[in-house]
Amino acid sequence: MTRPASSFPSTPNPRRGFLALLGAGGASLALGACGSSPAQAKSFPVSMSEAQWRKKLSAPEFRVLRQEATERPYSSPLNAEKRTGLFACAGCGNKLYASRTKFESGTGWPSFWQALPGAVGTRTDLKIGYPRTEVHCADCGGHLGHIFDDGPEPTGKRHCINGVAMDFLPA
């Protein structure tokens, strides 16, 4: 589902500019600041040792899901995914988002206005100097991205999600 161009904010969003700059240097991922990941902060139904996660996940998946990195904008094929289906956690397979809630945000990352019920958890992230809402998988604690208050109706939310953190399951 795409949002009409007329419904995008008319003033530039400084977060989007900062995030675009973050990925402009050519590095494939920008690592977050030091600190515990959501997976280390509490126990989750799906739990593995760091060695087991490293064996299960690709290097980019591990950096995003387990170390809270951010993929370069416009690098994920899921950003352009338009088919009907579900987006699931690449770490544990937990179904996270329905394709009907996906929209084109212009940020370079897959964006959704709502998660599936009980699929994600949140916490406050202060790593870049101001509070953001970090979103993680409710089953394994894997870092997915952040939630912002500049999304479309009906929620007004933009779940800005790293594509490498998800798999697409076509209907």
Tokens, residue 108: 């370079």
Residue 8 lies in a domain: no
Whether 100 has a pLDDT exceeding 60, the answer reads yes
Residue 14 lies in a domain: no
What per-residue confidence (pLDDT) applies to 36?
42
Pick the residue with more confidence: 19 or 51?
51
Q: What is the CATH number of the domain that holds 164?
A: 2.170.150.20
CB atoms within 10 A of CB 134: 21
**Cα–Cα distances in Å, from 105 out to 60, 73, 113?**
23, 12, 10
Residue 21 lies in a domain: no
**Alpha-carbon distance 107 to 31, whole Å?**
18
Q: Which residues contact 69 (CB under 8 A, 6 or more apart)?
A: 29, 30, 31, 32, 60, 63, 143, 162
CB atoms within 10 A of CB 55: 10
- Annotated active-site residue in 89, 92, 140, 160: 160
Domain tally, the chain: 1
Residue 160 annotated to the active site: yes
pLDDT (mean) for 86-104: 98
Residue 161 lies in a domain: yes
| 140: containing domain | 33-170
